A and B are shown apart, each in its own frame.
Chain A
Amino acid sequence: MRAERNVWALVSGVFLTILLFASAYRVQEWDQVIITQFGKPVGGPITAAGLHFKLPLIQRIWRFDKRILNWDANPNQIPTKDKKYIWVDTTARWRMTDPLLFLQTVQTEENARSRLDGIIEAATRDIISNYNLVEAVRNSDSIIAKVKLKRDMATRGELPPGEEEGIGEIEPIVLGREKLSEMIIEKARAGLKELGIQIIDVQLRRIAYEASVESKVFERMISERQRIAQKIRSVGLGEQSKIRGKITRDLQQIESEAYKRSETLRGAADATAIRNYAAAMNSDPEFYEFLRTLEAYKKALPADTRLILSADSEFLELLKKK
């Protein structure tokens, strides 16, 4: 019968479609898939994106992300080796590199995260508490060189305006921030490998003073700034005195040099004059004396003079002289 055939065709068509949908699955570019048959993994992980098939009903797919994933720590209060209480807030990047192992050990991303919490936080605590605070703050000793340079400039008085000289000693570091991160990764790596997880990096996102420490730090900052301000002021006054001293010195120098030059000039000129006169006089000293005496009296006696002479005055002699 034709009608009956149609019905059978329809039913089988529906059945086949259901079968197809139950056996075909899509693997996205960022997926990796594990197939299990009655709970037992079959074959390796499927990572190639595209359409794949499995046995319907009896095989089950487990889908995992193969991209880099994030992990955030719960911020932790950790004492450093130099007994400073700080908040350490880390974040990590990780990926599932062995989905089969991942499936066997933690099954879900949520479980994985809580395992990451335990492992990375413990590693962070171990590393941070074994080193001084500066190791987690700084990455190099470049700051020490810079501070030294500025200090040298300040002692030579060449510190450019706007710059200020630091105060206090800066502790050198042994390892530094990046190295500590690496050590945390190293420590966490072994434990995570057993879970099929690869850890890519651990970033010390935030390191902050604990609240009670913070106020003390602020107090220290304030006193440090005040010391710096005081120093700047006294440097200013020192510079002022230096310039004032320079005024006195330059003034003395200028005046005395001018005096020296002027006296030298005068002396040289006087000497020349003396030589000139002497040279002239020497040719006839007697005549010169005669002329000079006449000249002197002419110059010395103003008009309307009352002249009182002793009888033996030389001047009288002169007047009498023919």
Chain B
Amino acid sequence: MPEPWEDPEEEIKDLLDSVRSRFKNPLHLPSAAIFVAAASAFMALALLTSVYTVKPEEKAVILRLGRYAGTKGPGLHVRVPFGIDQLFKVATETIHQEEFGFRSGGDSNEPFVGHRLTPQEESAMLTGDLNVAEVGWIVQYKISDPRKYLFNTRERIKNMRDVSQSVLRRVVGDREVSEALTTGRVEIAEEAHRLTQEVLDRYDMGVKIVTIKLQDANPPESVKPAFNEVNAAKQEQEKAINQAEREYNQVIPEARGKAEQLVRDAEGYAMAVVNRSQGDASRFKNMLSAYRTAPSVTKTRLHREALEELYGRFKEVIIVDKNVNGLLPIYQGLQAPAGEKR
């Protein structure tokens, strides 16, 4: 007689019984109720996992079984649950920023995660005249096409960092150190913006650069004093020129005024001399025409009148013989005789 456990029919029967007892609910509920409960739990789970929201600054890219199935804007949306629809949210409205050559969070000199270069190494670059300049800059960008952003490149931020560094070095490499540090900064940023965008467009990675701005641009620490010396020399130059200009302004306007005066004086003199001569001439002519009506009488009268006036002025009149010489010592100390004609 075979053992009971060796009877295959018995074995199966036992198994089926146990399975059946499992399916028979221990709470004695009707099986339909269990089904409904299970189904509704399943439905609830499905519903919960199929609803999602997209924030105002985001867009959601949907992959259905791996294939692109649309981009959803901000709001409440429904998807197929259980991993059939995958969701990739991309902040398209946010302006993202990358820093190069410096870290705004403290003065750490650590490379970014996944990057080998320290800020210090990022910032040091060769200029066209083979000098070294240390330049810090920022790149601000937006994700203009989330689909391209996700599907076309894998390490997007690293791409951008690599390209931006390469481009900025290229732009600075075509300039003199003095230009890179001072006058050329805006131009450098603009050219870097254009060239970086060109390269990123070549990757078609759906990124649009908003702006590139140069922050610090300095000579290396040990060279700084020499650069300052150049600045000081510029000041000195200006000072020297200003000083000379001041001297000029001190002297020349005054000289011009004096010259003007000299000319005006001469003009006055000229006017006076001419007027006087005209006056004298006209007086003489008038007198002459009157004199000619009675020359002899007039001459005598004029002579007498003059003598009258002259005699009135003399204190004494001394007449000496014409042969007397050496008279003057007597009158030494006196006022020299005036008007004597010898």
Residues of chain A touching chain B, judged by Cβ–Cβ distance below 8 Å, are 1, 3-4, 7, 26-31, 48-51, 65, 67-70, 72, 75, 89, 91, 93, 133-134, 137-140, 142-143, 146-147, 161-164, 166, 168, 170, 177-178, 200-201, 203-209, 214, 217-218, 221-222, 224-226, 228-230, 232-233, 235-237, 239-244, 246-247, 250-251, 254-255, 257-259, 261-266, 268-270, 272-274, 276-277, 279-281, 283-284, 287-288, 290-291, 294, 297-298, 300-316, 319, 321-322
Contact = CB atoms under 8 A, between A and B. Distances in A.
Interface in B314-340: 314-322, 324, 327, 331, 334-335, 337-340
Given A162-B182, A266-B266, A306 B315 contact: yes
B175 A143 contact: yes
Given A244-B247, A297-B306, A309-B340, A204 B166 contact: yes
Contacts of B222: 218, 222
B287 interface: yes
16 contacts: A49-B63, A70-B158, A91-B162, A138-B128, A177-B173, A204-B170, A218-B222, A221-B131, A225-B223, A233-B233, A251-B255, A258-B262, A261-B266, A265-B267, A268-B270, A297-B306
Contacts of B318: 306-309
Interface string B100-134: 00000000000000001100011011111111100
Given A205-B165, A287-B291, A303-B313, A27 B176 contact: no
Contacts of B76: none
B234 A67 contact: no
Interface string B247-285: 110011001101110110111011111101110111011
Contacts of A250: 248, 252, 255
Nearest to A292: B284
A22 to B, nearest CB: 16
Interface stretch (B26-34, B149-157, B208-216): B149-157
Nearest to A215: B222
A284 B222 CA distance: 99
A251 B166 CA distance: 60
A302 B285 contact: no
A147 B128 CA distance: 11
B207 interface: no
Given A206-B117, A222-B223, A310 B322 contact: yes
Interface stretch (B42-50, B51-59, B137-145, B236-244): B236-244
Contacts of A281: 284
Contacts, number: 378
- Name the residue among B117, B125, B255, B312 with the largest chain A CB count within 10 angstroms: B255
Contact of A305 (B199, B202, B315): B315
A244 B276 CA distance: 45
Interface in B35-78: 63, 65-68
A300 B96 CA distance: 105
B24 to A, nearest CB: 11
- Name the residue among B170, B199, B260, B324 with the largest chain A CB count within 10 angstroms: B170
B237 A236 contact: yes
A315 B339 contact: yes
Contacts of B284: 280-281, 288, 291
B245 interface: yes
Contacts of B202: 200-201
Contacts of A178: 170
Given A232-B233, A258-B258, 20 more contacts: A48-B67, A49-B68, A67-B153, A70-B162, A162-B182, A178-B170, A205-B162, A218-B132, A229-B226, A236-B240, A247-B252, A254-B256, A272-B274, A280-B282, A280-B288, A287-B291, A287-B295, A297-B339, A302-B313, A311-B322
